[in-house]
Amino acid sequence: MLRRSLPAIFALALSSSIAWGCGENGPANAAKPEIGYVEIDPDITLRRMVVHSAKPQGTVLLLHGFPETLCAWRDVSFALADDYEVHAIDWPGYGLSSRPAADRFSYAPRDYARILKGYIEAANIDRSRLTIYATDIGALPALLLALDEPDVARTIIVGDFAPFNRPQYMYESLRNLKTEPAASKTRAYMNKTWAEILENAFTRGLPAQAKFDLSAEYREDMASGWSHGKLTSADAFFHYYAHFTRDEDYLEANLDKLKTPVTVIWGEKDIYIDRNLGVEFAERINAELKLLPGIGHYPHLQAPDQTIEEIRASFR
C-alpha cells in the first residue's frame, strides 16, 4: 500500500467511509479495491485507487476530468481488473486529494504533469506495460509529460479536451475561463451553482434517449469532495484555466517531440469541446481518431463498455 506519512486530515479520511465513497464492493468475483493516499511532495497528497489482477498483462492508469473524482472509474476498473492492474487518482483540487493555496501549487496542466510523473514513480508502475487513459483536464498533462518523457507509457488514449487554443470550439463558460474579467465571474458562478453542475453537467446537451444515470455513491463522492478548506473544485478548475492557454500553446509548438503512441477518442455529441478539435489534433500528430456516435463529453460514463474495449485494444 502506498500510504506514507500523511497530514492529519488525510489520515482521518483514510480511516472513515468517505475515503472510498464510491461503494466498496464490486462484482462478487472482483478483487477488492485498495484505497489509500500517496504523498507526492510536501504540498500534495493524492487519494488513489488500485484494483489488482491475479495475473496482470499490464497496467492501466485512469485520469478523470471536471467535475469528477476517481469514482468515475469504478465500474471500468472492475471490468479491466480481470487482466490488468488498474490505478485511478483524484487530481489535486478534486475528491479527497490535496488542495493547497494557489501560491503554493498553480493547478496548471504543466504542474499536473509533474504530479502524474510523481504518482507513476511512487506507485512503481512499469511504464513499458502502461496504458494511460486521460479525459478532459487529465489529457493535456499526460501529453505534456510525454513531450519530455516519451517512454512514460506504451500508449496514451486521450479525448474530449482542448489540446490547442481554439476558443471557438469551446463551450461558452470554458471560453470565459480563459481571460479576465470573465474568468473570475465564471468562477464565482460555478461555486454558487455547484449542485446544479454535479446534477446536470454529465448529460447536458444529450437527447432524452441518450441520457444516463450516475450512481448515488458517485454523486455523493463528488459532492463530499467539492470543497476542502478554502479551495473548491471550481477554484482548482479556474486556476487550471489561468495557465491553460500557455500550456496549450506549448504543446502545439512542440508536437514534433510527441513520440509516445496516442489514440484520440471523442464523443461526437460533445457540447463542451467540439469534435473539430479532436479531428485537428489527430491529424496533426497522425494519430487514429475514433468519433463515437451519439456520445457526449463523458464516454467512460455514457458508454463504459466501449471505453473498456478501447483500453483492451491498446494492449493488442
pLDDT in tens, 226-284: 998 789 999 999 999 999 999 999 999 999 999 999 999 999 999 999 999 999 999 99
On whether the CB atoms of residues 220 and 195 are closer than 8 A, the answer is no
Say how many Å lie between the first and final Cα of the chain, rounded: 29
Tell me what pLDDT residue 18 has: 36
Rounded to 5, what percent of the chain is helix, strand, coil? 45, 15, 40
Mean pLDDT (whole number) for 195-214: 96
Residue 78 φ then ψ, to 5°: -60, -40
Q: What is the pLDDT of residues 78-133, one digit of tens each?
A: 999 999 999 999 999 999 999 999 999 999 999 999 999 999 999 999 999 999 99
In a domain, 73, yes or no: yes
In a domain, 1, yes or no: no
Task: Give the CATH number, domain containing residue 154.
Answer: 3.40.50.1820
DSSP 273: B
Q: What is the tally of structural domains in the chain?
A: 1
Residue 214 clears pLDDT 70, i.e. is over it: yes
In a domain, 3, yes or no: no
| Residues in a beta bridge with 88 | 49, 62
Report the C-alpha dihedral over residues 262, 267, 268, 270, rounded to 10 degrees: -120
The strand pair at 85-89 and 44-51 is best described as antiparallel
Tell me what pLDDT residue 30 has: 60
Domain around 89: 8-313
In a domain, 208, yes or no: yes
| Global pTM value | 0.92
Classify the phi-psi angles of 23: left when phi > 0, otherwise alpha if psi is within -120 to 50, otherwise beta: left
In a domain, 2, yes or no: no
DSSP 185: H
H or E segment and range at residue 47: strand 44-51
Question: How would residue 28 be classed by pLDDT, with cut points 50, 70 and 90?
Answer: low
The strand pair at 231-232 and 227-228 is best described as antiparallel
In a domain, 16, yes or no: yes
Kindly state the percentage of the chain with pLDDT values over 70: 90
On whether the CB atoms of residues 202 and 295 are closer than 8 A, the answer is no
On whether the CB atoms of residues 99 and 43 are closer than 8 A, the answer is no
Mean pLDDT (whole number) for 49-74: 96
Tell me what pLDDT residue 8 has: 39
Which residue matches cell numbers 491553460?
244
In a domain, 66, yes or no: yes
Buried b (16+ CB within 10 A) or exposed e, 92-129: bbbbbbbbbebeebbbbbbbbbbbbbbbbeebebeeeb
